Structures are given as structure tokens and as C-alpha cells.
């Protein structure tokens, strides 16, 4: 899998290739990306709530329609459904344990819920792309090499010049 930088002013020009499989596609999936200024991290020393408030107000958010094939969307839905089923099962076991006053069943319910969260996060990283917003650049990672090759023309000009200068 590859990584690509895209100028946020050119997001409407994304190639019609699935970001994950590189197949031609007409379908898209809406994805949010955010940039939280570094200075907000200093507020953690004053507590989580001040940090969350400052980060919420200071963050910059964009929504992108990323091209995705039907197969990629199906895999993503499967991961999401599996996560919901695992969490419902874990919470159900926990509630049943509390009703019957069985500590072992409660720990099993907690373990199922936690394992589901970790597994779902890991699987989502496999079946979908990650990314971060850095000022006017959207960095996508885990994209298919064919998508990255066609999308590299959407990189900001100064980034392309910087990469040439470093390699030359």
C-alpha cells in the first residue's frame, strides 16, 4: 500500500479509482479528516476537558468523498457489523452477569467488548485508508499504488518541488 499527499483545494479532481483496490469505480464514501493545532495538546496538563474544548473549537475539519469500489464498501460494512455484534454480545453478557451476580461472566463480557474494539480498529485499518489533515495537505495512507500514482498530480506544487530538491 502507498501514501499520497493531496492539495485540499483539488479534492474534486480525485481519480475515479477505488482508493483501496485501484479498480475503476463510480461510487464514493464520505470520510472526515481533521487537523488539531499542536498548542491544544498543552492544555492536557490542565485536564482533559479544557483540552477537548479547545481542540473542538480550534480544529479544522474537511469532508472528502473518496472513491470506493462496491467490494471495498462491502468489506467495510462487514467490519462495522462485526464490531456492533461483538459489542452488543459483550454488553449483553455484562448485563446478564450483573443480573445473576456472576463475576466471571461479567469479566467475559468486558473482555469480549474490549477485544471487539481492538479487532475492529485493526480490521478497519486493513480494509480502509487512513489519513490526516496537515494545513492545506491531506495525507492518505494505505491507498492502492494505482490510485497513488494517479493522485500524485494533485499534490501541492511546493511539496513536489521539495521532494525533487531532496532527491536531486
pLDDT digits (tens, 9 = 90+) for 32-82: 988 888 888 888 888 889 888 988 888 888 999 999 999 999 999 999 999
DSSP string, 34-101: EE--GGGGGGGGG-HHHHHHHHHHH-EEEEEEEE--HHHHHHHHHHHHHHHHHHHHHHHHHHHHHHHT
pLDDT digits (tens, 9 = 90+) for 95-113: 999 999 899 999 999 999 9
pTM: 0.76
Amino acid at each position: 500500500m502507498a501514501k499520497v499527499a493531496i492539495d485540499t483545494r483539488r479534492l474534486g479532481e480525485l481519480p475515479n479509482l477505488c482508493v483501496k483496490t485501484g479498480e475503476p469505480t463510480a461510487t464514493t464514501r464520505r470520510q472526515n479528516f481533521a487537523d488539531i493545532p499542536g498548542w491544544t495538546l498543552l492544555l492536557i496538563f490542565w485536564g482533559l476537558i479544557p483540552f477537548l474544548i479547545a481542540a473542538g473549537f480550534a480544529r479544522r475539519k474537511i469532508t472528502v468523498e473518496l472513491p470506493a469500489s462496491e467490494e471495498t464498501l462491502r468489506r467495510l460494512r462487514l467490519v462495522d457489523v462485526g464490531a456492533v455484534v461483538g459489542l452488543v454480545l459483550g454488553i449483553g453478557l455484562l448485563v446478564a452477569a450483573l443480573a445473576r451476580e456472576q463475576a466471571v461472566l461479567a469479566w467475559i463480557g468486558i473482555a469480549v467488548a474490549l477485544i471487539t474494539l481492538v479487532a475492529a480498529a485493526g480490521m478497519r485499518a486493513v480494509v480502509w485508508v487512513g489519513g490526516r489533515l496537515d494545513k492545506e495537505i491531506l495525507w492518505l495512507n494505505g491507498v492502492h499504488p494505482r490510485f497513488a500514482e494517479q493522485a500524485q498530480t494533485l499534490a501541492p506544487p511546493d511539496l513536489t518541488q521539495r521532494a525533487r530538491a531532496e532527491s536531486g
